[in-house]
Amino acid sequence: MNTVVSPAVGADTRPALKFITCGSVDDGKSTLIGRLLVDSKAVLQDHLAGVQRQGETDLALLTDGLSAEREQGITIDVAYRYFNTETRKFIIGDAPGHEQYTRNMVTAASSADAAVVLVDATKLDWRNAALKLLAQTRRHSLLLKLLRVPSIVFAVNKLDAVEDPTQAFTHIRNALTEFAATAGLTVTATVPVSALKGWNVVDAAVDAHWCGYSGPTLLDILEHLPVTPADVSLPVSFPVQWVEKFSSSSDTSQGRRVFWGRVATGEATVGQAVKVMPSGLTAKVAQVLDHARNPKPVAAGHSAGIVLDRELDVSRGDWLLAADDENDTLTATSSLSATVAWLDDEPLIAGRVYWALHGHRWVKAKVQRIVHRLDIHTLAEESANQLEANAIGHIELALQEPLATRPFAESRALGAMVLVDTASHKTSGALLVN
Amino acid sequence: MNARIDNAVLETAHHLSNAHLDALEEETIFILREVAAAFERPALLFSGGKDSLVMLRCAEKAFGVGRIPYPLLMIDTGHNFPEVTAFRDLRAGELQAELIVRNVEDSMKRGTVRLSHPEESRNVHQSVTLLEAIEEFRFDALIGGARRDEEKARAKERIFSHRDSFGQWQPKAQRPELWTLFNTRLAPGEHFRVFPISNWTELDVWQYIEREQIALPSLYYSHKRDVIDRRGLLVPVTELTPAKDGETVQTRDVRFRTLGDITCTCPVESTAATPEQIVLETLTAEVSERGSTRMDDKTSDASMEKRKKDGYF
């Protein structure tokens, strides 16, 4: 158990922090996680024994669990690990750095409260004040921004292996700061670490001013990061996940069906006027149940059961939207402009039809045009006929049925979709409504 | 197990647990409902073990007693502890749930399972019987109680995990799983394995059992049992796992951290007789659940991955 930080006020009400580690291949992500787990005493003896090779502990082997990963020495898919300190529980998603497996990094990032982007000092021209960052550092950071991961921490690693760690850290930190400013990233902290030696990960470096840094360790920072705030300030919106129909006589006497789902924005309360989309029918909320069937108001991010005051045709995939403020009522639209992160080896092609999943609703979506593709290096917008795997672009879609959406920047649930290939059924793209 | 308890550790655990357990419960219920809504013929794998009993409690909250909208499916190796099988039947009855049992022995009679020698563990052969049951009932989603903290291949598993028409997991080609937008599209013959308690740890399971007062088979709690200490593993002496020549049988206070096939499940030394005492033990455990109890995971680092590729849960 780690004892660095005294328990924070309100620690008992905080859910676990989900964070991911990302960055380029061989930047030491798996080693960093191994270090976090070992130094916070979260690794059990048999697991530790399993990563001893000729007397040396290879921390990376704690997370690289697939035989294909061990063969190739790379992380292919996200490994989820769990640990806690005295003040907090953590879920780590160890994301692969390899460009080919960016889709798995996006998988981990979509549910993360925070991300630690590892930067390998030994791979950069650290003596140069105007050094260039690696493409994957930039790509991952941009994806984190797109996906609205609330906290981003840069961890500059392997500084034990460079001649002048202070100069290296200063130059790399400046380059990261400049890149962040250009890309519009908000960075919580930039920390020098040595995952291999265990400096500034759980315990502070032996030299308190190592690299000219005297701030908190990476774990200190993680212990104080917020979880993703729910979109509670917006009017209520609710995607219907499952319709519970009662068949026994005692239940039908209530004359109601319960619509279950997770409140996307706002708060579900009794008396609220709602409009059913896409039918446009209106009703009032007669009863709200929490996930475990207790009657109480339910805020964004949590599952609720909603009973309406009249019988309406409502099914899975429909949305219930606040209807009391005419000016703020969402209207459905059948054309969308969106940013897409393409994850499939089959490129996205203008003119093709995909399945789009929005909340619990599947609709056909046709790519009307590719507006542009983002150049990862220059952040310039370039024209494109298709989007290859790992590209980030801007597209326009025509929808088979209108959907009520909000920009992803306002509402994660209303602004997020996935595109699914109609032939292979692969999850091909992450779509963020503009 | 280590009996050393630090009061600070204890307090912290209780401090952190309730909000955390609520979040886990809510996630599990959301997933259980998603399966009910998105699939035509789902089933919930139910062994009578602690993880599946935790899932059932969440299903009770999700759907109400007597309303779980899918059958419970058990693949019986014929080598299960009788206490567990009895408990399974009792619990299914209480919940008014449909229970389907399929036996590895029937697969052996059909000739689809052949043992290399009579004493071979039937555990790995469950995959064949499971895939036969999937074909028989044309299940399109099987809910399982696997947790990501159990094992390194499990740590990589998606919540909605696609299986091809041979029931195989393809770890290099897992579908991206973004937010809670679960892609449940299938081609004919394919199915999903769904893991609603992916994010729970062994400690979470025990804290939830304690909080919800979930009844478990008695073998999970301390009892006296004849065992053989075989290189640190306490092998239970049963008809299926008799003592070998020259081995000393001892009677020890033990409990099972995991319950599976008799031929590959070992208890740990423990006097913990209540969920609360087990929570304490788990907090200070220095060896993992599988490391201390499973004979079949030790053969190679990748044994679980290989079995999952073959259709195992």
Distance from CA of A412 to the nearest CA of B (A): 9
Residue A87 near residue A375 (C-beta atoms within 8 A): no
Average pLDDT across chain B, whole number? 88
Distance from CA of A43 to the nearest CA of B (A): 8
For residue B178, list its beta bridge partners: B181
User: What average pLDDT does the segment A105-120 reach?
Assistant: 94
Instruction: Look at A341 and B303; give whichever has higher pLDDT.
Output: A341
Q: Which of B179, B292, B301 sits opposite A111 (nearest CB)?
A: B179
End-to-end CA distance of chain A: 44
Q: Which residues in chain B have Cβ-Cβ distances shorter than 8 Å to A357? A: 181, 183
Contact of A90 with chain B, judged by CB distance below 8 Å, is answered with: no
User: What average pLDDT does the segment A372-378 reach?
Assistant: 87
Q: Which of A293, A303, A416 sits opposite B181 (nearest CB)?
A: A416
CA distance A357 to A411: 16
pLDDT value at residue B301 = 47
Q: Which residue stretches of chain B are H helix?
A: 7-38, 50-63, 82-94, 104-110, 126-137, 202-212, 275-283, 289-293, 303-309
Distance from CA of A81 to the nearest CA of B (A): 7
Per-residue confidence band for B1, with pLDDT thresholds at 50, 70 and 90: very low
Summarised one tens digit per residue, pLDDT across range A72-87 is 666 778 889 898 888 8
B29 contacts A292? CB cut-off 8 A: yes
pLDDT value at residue A26 = 74
Residues in chain B: 313
Axis-axis angle for helices A135-146, A102-110 (nearest 10): 30
CA distance A119 to A22: 9
B26 contacts A303? CB cut-off 8 A: yes
Per DSSP (E only), the strands in A85-150 are 89-94, 114-120
B187 contacts A89? CB cut-off 8 A: no
pLDDT value at residue A377 = 79
CA distance A343 to A364: 19
CA distance A114 to A97: 17
Interface test with A, best of B179, B233, B286, B307 (most A CBs within 10 A): B179
| DSSP classification of residue A230 | P
Q: Which of A7, A14, A110 sits opposite B19 (nearest CB)?
A: A14
Q: Which residues in chain B have Cβ-Cβ distances shorter than 8 Å to A291? A: 25-26, 29-30, 61-62
Tokens for A163, please give them: 């001649």
CA distance A390 to B69: 39
pLDDT value at residue B296 = 56
Q: Which residues in chain A have Cβ-Cβ distances shorter than 8 Å to B15? A: 7, 11-12
Nearest residue of B to residue A101, measured between CA atoms: B172
Per-residue confidence band for B152, with pLDDT thresholds at 50, 70 and 90: confident
Q: Which residues in chain A have Cβ-Cβ distances shorter than 8 Å to B16? A: 11-12, 84, 88-89
Q: Is A308 exposed, middle or buried (0-12, 13-18, 19+ CB in 10 A)?
A: buried
Instruction: Look at B178 and A11; give whichever has higher pLDDT.
Output: B178
Kindly report which listed range (A95-109, A243-257, B77-91, B157-171) carries the lowest average pLDDT score.
A243-257
Contact of A71 with chain B, judged by CB distance below 8 Å, is answered with: no
Please give the C-alpha separations between residue A336 and each of A160, A279, A320, A404, A418, in angstroms, as whole numbers.
49, 20, 20, 10, 13
Instruction: Kindly state the percentage of chain A with pLDDT values over 90.
Output: 68
pLDDT value at residue B308 = 66
B12 contacts A7? CB cut-off 8 A: yes
Peptide bond into A278 cis (omega under 30): yes
Per-residue confidence band for A100, with pLDDT thresholds at 50, 70 and 90: confident
CA distance A46 to A406: 49
Going by their DSSP bridges, the two strands A416-420 and A427-433 should be labelled as: antiparallel
CA distance A179 to A201: 24
Tokens for B262, please give them: 């008799």
pLDDT value at residue A7 = 34
Contact of B152 with chain A, judged by CB distance below 8 Å, is answered with: yes
CA distance A192 to A172: 10
CA distance B268 to B222: 9
Phi first, then psi, for residue B220 (nearest 5°) are: -70, -15
pLDDT beyond 70 at A13: no
Cβ atoms within 10 Å of A182's Cβ, excluding its own: 11
User: What average pLDDT does the segment B165-177 reach?
Assistant: 89
Axis-axis angle for helices B275-283, B7-38 (nearest 10): 110
pLDDT value at residue B128 = 92
Q: Which of B306, B270, B261, B231 minimizes the C-alpha distance to B81? A: B261
Q: Which residues in chain B have Cβ-Cβ distances shorter than 8 Å to A316? A: 37
| DSSP classification of residue A33 | H
Residue B228 near residue B234 (C-beta atoms within 8 A): yes
User: What average pLDDT does the segment B251-259 reach?
Assistant: 93
Looking at chain A from residue 345 to 384, which residues have their Cβ under 8 Å from any Cβ of chain B?
A: 355, 357-360
pLDDT beyond 80 at A255: no
Looking at chain B from residue 89 to 128, which residues have their Cβ under 8 Å from any Cβ of chain A?
A: none
What is the enclosing helix (H) or strand (E) of A371?
Answer: strand A361-374
Distance from CA of B164 to the nearest CA of A (A): 12
Distance from CA of B152 to the nearest CA of A (A): 5
Q: Which of B185, B195, B211, B178 minimizes the C-alpha distance to B308? A: B195
- What is the per-residue burial (b if ≥16 Cβ within 10 Å, else e) of A100-126? ebbbbbbbbbbbbbbbbbbbbbebbeb
Summarised one tens digit per residue, pLDDT across range A162-195 is 999 999 999 999 999 999 999 999 999 999 999 9
pLDDT beyond 60 at A254: no
Per-residue confidence band for B4, with pLDDT thresholds at 50, 70 and 90: very low
pLDDT value at residue B290 = 64
User: What average pLDDT does the segment A322-346 reach?
Assistant: 86
Phi/psi region, residue A394 (left: phi>0; alpha: psi -120 to 50; beta: rest), is beta
Summarised one tens digit per residue, pLDDT across range B287-308 is 776 666 666 544 444 566 666 6
Distance from CA of B37 to the nearest CA of A (A): 5
Looking at chain A from residue 294 to 333, which residues have their Cβ under 8 Å from any Cβ of chain B?
A: 302-303, 316
Instruction: Kindly state the percentage of chain A with pLDDT values over 70.
Output: 87
Q: Which of B18, B37, B180 sits opposite A316 (nearest CB)?
A: B37
pLDDT beyond 50 at A425: yes
pLDDT beyond 60 at A250: no
CA distance A109 to A53: 32
pLDDT value at residue A3 = 32
Summarised one tens digit per residue, pLDDT across range A131-141 is 999 988 999 99
Per-residue confidence band for B313, with pLDDT thresholds at 50, 70 and 90: low
Phi/psi region, residue B170 (left: phi>0; alpha: psi -120 to 50; beta: rest), is beta
Interface test with B, best of A37, A107, A250, A296 (most B CBs within 10 A): A107
Distance from CA of A212 to the nearest CA of B (A): 34
A104 contacts B180? CB cut-off 8 A: no
Summarised one tens digit per residue, pLDDT across range A39-56 is 887 776 666 666 666 666
CA distance A210 to B283: 35
Please give the C-alpha separations between residue A245 and each of A241, A254, A360, in angstroms, as whole numbers.
13, 11, 18
- What is the per-residue burial (b if ≥16 Cβ within 10 Å, else e) of B198-212? bbbbbbbbbbbbbeb
Contact of B132 with chain A, judged by CB distance below 8 Å, is answered with: no
Kindly report which listed range (A267-276, B27-36, B132-141, B304-313) carries the lowest average pLDDT score.
B304-313
Residue A124 near residue A164 (C-beta atoms within 8 A): no
CB pairs under 8 A between A and B: 164
Instruction: Look at B242 and A154; give whichever has higher pLDDT.
Output: A154
Tokens for A117, please give them: 């982007």
Q: Which residues in chain B have Cβ-Cβ distances shorter than 8 Å to A416? A: 178-179, 181
pLDDT value at residue B3 = 39
Residue B67 near residue B36 (C-beta atoms within 8 A): no
pLDDT value at residue B299 = 43
Is pTM, for the whole model, over 0.80? yes
B231-235 long-range Cβ contacts below 8 angstroms, 24+ apart:
B233/B266, B233/B292, B233/B293, B233/B295, B234/B266, B234/B267, B234/B268, B234/B269, B235/B266, B235/B295
- What is the per-residue burial (b if ≥16 Cβ within 10 Å, else e) of B150-188? bbbbbbbbbbbbbbeeebbbebeebbbbbbbbbbbbbee
pLDDT beyond 90 at B61: yes
A65 contacts B155? CB cut-off 8 A: yes
